Chains A and B, each alone.
Chain A
Amino acid sequence: MVTYFSEIYHGLISLFVGMGITFKEFFKPTVTVSYPYETLTMCDRYRGHIELIEDEEGKPNCVVCGLCERACPSNCISLAGEKPEGEKKKVLTKYILDFTTCSLCGSCVESCNFNALTFSKEYNLASTRKEDFIFDLLKRLEDRNK
């Protein structure tokens, strides 16, 4: 008999305590960001898709060693270069990143010994065609430098 009433009493108290918590939460400010009316900036180490780094003259640092291509677990990178007459180092002619299979693991950036790759801060990528995600990084570098 006593347990009957004490259970009702304690149950009722717990319900009011719960309601008190949601009441307090009602008056706290919102924590959401009304995207797309407000946006956030990404932190420094944010992993967007990779980009080529250029030197002072605007040419990529890449020497076409192929380490990034071999390190990638998903075969995303394909690059080609040629050795012009009289130069010691190769020059990059094509750098294609297939972002549809990239997993942002960072093996390519880590394996590059020439400081040629870095993560970008792109997060706002949406498209209706798969071809839009085959990035030509050399062309993107040239567009940035214009």
Chain B
Amino acid sequence: MNSPIELQPDETFILNVGPQHPATHGVLRVKMEMSGEYIVQAETVIGYIHRMHEKMGEIKTYPQFLMNLSRMDYLGALGYSHGHVLLIEKASAIEVPERAEYIRAITVEMNRIASHLFWFGAFVMDLGGFSPLMYALQDREHILDILERVTGSRLTYCYYRFGGLYNDVDDEFVSATRRFIPRMRKSLKKYHKLVTGNIIFRKRLEGIAPLSQEMCRKYGASSAVARGSGINFDVRKNEPYSVYPEFDFDVPVFHECDSLARYNVRMEEMEQSLRIIEQGLDKLPDGPIMPVKKPKLIKPPAGDYYQAVETARGSFGIRLVSDGGKSPYRLKLRSPTYSNMHLFDEACRGMLITDALAFMGSLDLVIPEIDR
């Protein structure tokens, strides 16, 4: 009874899952045409939180744009800043010291874990279990405290600069992170016992919303949506950047294509991020965090540059068309959730609405990132 059925096209009514969601996704509107309990057609309507970041990219100078990247996807903000500074450094040929690269990698991975923890809590809360949300948010508080001691902010970091970092980390950061890693591993075991092994949860997710590989490729899905369908693509391994070639980590790929596979991919990614953080702390070199020769004014030579990074939500791409001036001519931000979300329209035909909402949770949508 829980697989898609053949529907009679008449006798449908429109249900507006409006911009104000009880769930935590953001301002997304889904116009669903329903026949009883089953969805005939769904159409996602976006644009309720469009804040013109790309236009701001054309008006502001390069250093002034640094703060915008954190506001795009506020849950995994450091990954986006990382992409932007890597791009400008590539364009202006600025050398980044080793220590800064390692600290960037460590903080990006910690932010990835924080983002996945928030997704985990919100997802299980959508399905009806309220306690794992509290446990996940408490673990996330540990990460946010560590990052707050270093950067000063908890959510919208403005920490990376062109060439390095704003300020250095101290020994307190290293020891706090080392204390955090075994605690996080214990918590992950707890989540697996409480949630992943639970029969009610498994029945809710097994076999729901299978996304074939062709559909993922058609929409350009990345991150857990693609890796849950068997596509082994991770920007950190396929198009390496920064110091990721130095780390030894696996990319979790599951082949069942259903919501449980996507869930498992993200839980495994948290474990792999912990491995990267451990290796990064072991290999952290001494040295400066800003280059000795830093240009006073950032003016990349005219040209077309692109940089892709792997964020918590997928492959974030940023493209710069520069004409040699103080501001970019065009700055394009390729949002991974935009590609992931439009799978929903096609995949949810014939599903029950409860399954469709569980599917939306497994896609890990953050709407401000779609609308930019």
CB of B135 within 8 A of CB of A14, answer no
A57 to chain B, nearest CB (A): 29
CB of A45 within 8 A of CB of B150, answer yes
Instruction: Map CB proximity to B onto A47-69 as digits: 1 under 8 Å, 0 otherwise.
Output: 10000000000000000000000
Interface size class of A (residues with CB under 8 A): 20 to 34
CB of A73 within 8 A of CB of B198, answer no
Q: Is A107 an interface residue (CB 8 A)?
A: yes
Task: Give the chain A neighbours of B149 by CB distance below 8 A.
Answer: 43-45
CB of B193 within 8 A of CB of A21, answer yes
A71→B64 CA distance, assembly (Å): 7
Task: Give the chain B neighbours of A22 by CB distance below 8 A.
Answer: 131, 194
Supposing A73-B67, A107-B64 touch, asked if A21 and B194 sit within 8 A by C-beta, the answer is yes
Q: Is B92 an interface residue (CB 8 A)?
A: no
CB of A104 within 8 A of CB of B158, answer yes
A24 to chain B, nearest CB (A): 9
Q: Is A113 an interface residue (CB 8 A)?
A: no
A31→B183 CA distance, assembly (Å): 15
A5→B200 CA distance, assembly (Å): 16
CB of B197 within 8 A of CB of A73, answer no
Q: Is A105 an interface residue (CB 8 A)?
A: yes
Q: Is B90 an interface residue (CB 8 A)?
A: no
A71→B153 CA distance, assembly (Å): 20
A7→B202 CA distance, assembly (Å): 12
A138 to chain B, nearest CB (A): 24
CB of A119 within 8 A of CB of B152, answer yes
Supposing A22-B131, A73-B67, A105-B66 touch, asked if A14 and B156 sit within 8 A by C-beta, the answer is no
Q: Is B63 an interface residue (CB 8 A)?
A: yes
Task: Give the chain A neighbours of B194 by CB distance below 8 A.
Answer: 17-18, 21-22
Q: Is A142 an interface residue (CB 8 A)?
A: no
CB of A103 within 8 A of CB of B190, answer no
Task: Give the chain B neighbours of A15 by CB distance below 8 A.
Answer: 198-200
Q: Is A110 an interface residue (CB 8 A)?
A: yes
Q: Is A46 an interface residue (CB 8 A)?
A: yes
A12 to chain B, nearest CB (A): 8
Q: Is A106 an interface residue (CB 8 A)?
A: yes
A104→B40 CA distance, assembly (Å): 46
A76 to chain B, nearest CB (A): 12
Instruction: Map CB proximity to A onto B63-98 as digits: 1 under 8 Å, 0 otherwise.
Output: 111111001000000000000000000000000000
A105→B61 CA distance, assembly (Å): 14
Q: Is A144 an interface residue (CB 8 A)?
A: no
Supposing A18-B198, A105-B158 touch, asked if A46 and B138 sit within 8 A by C-beta, the answer is no
Q: Is B148 an interface residue (CB 8 A)?
A: yes
Supposing A21-B193, A46-B148, A105-B158 touch, asked if A10 and B65 sit within 8 A by C-beta, the answer is no
B257 to chain A, nearest CB (A): 22
Task: Give the chain A neighbours of B156 by CB distance below 8 A.
Answer: 103-104
A63 to chain B, nearest CB (A): 19
CB of A105 within 8 A of CB of B67, answer yes
A128 to chain B, nearest CB (A): 24
A37→B169 CA distance, assembly (Å): 33
CB of A43 within 8 A of CB of B148, answer yes
A17→B148 CA distance, assembly (Å): 35
Supposing A14-B198, A14-B199, A73-B67 touch, asked if A47 and B152 sit within 8 A by C-beta, the answer is yes
A108 to chain B, nearest CB (A): 11
Q: Is B151 an interface residue (CB 8 A)?
A: yes
Instruction: Map CB proximity to A onto B171-190 as digits: 1 under 8 Å, 0 otherwise.
Output: 00000000000000000001
Nearest 8 CB-CB pairs, A to B? A11-B199, A73-B64, A105-B67, A47-B152, A45-B152, A105-B158, A14-B197, A21-B194
- Interface residues, chain A, CB within 8 Å of chain B? 7, 10-12, 14-15, 17-18, 21-22, 25, 31, 43-47, 71-73, 103-107, 110, 119
Other A-B contacts than A10-B199, A43-B152, 9 sampled, CB-CB below 8 A, are A14-B199, A21-B194, A45-B167, A71-B63, A73-B60, A73-B65, A73-B66, A103-B67, A104-B156
Q: List 9 A-B contacts (CB under 8 A).
A: A7-B199, A14-B197, A14-B198, A17-B194, A18-B194, A73-B68, A103-B67, A104-B156, A105-B158
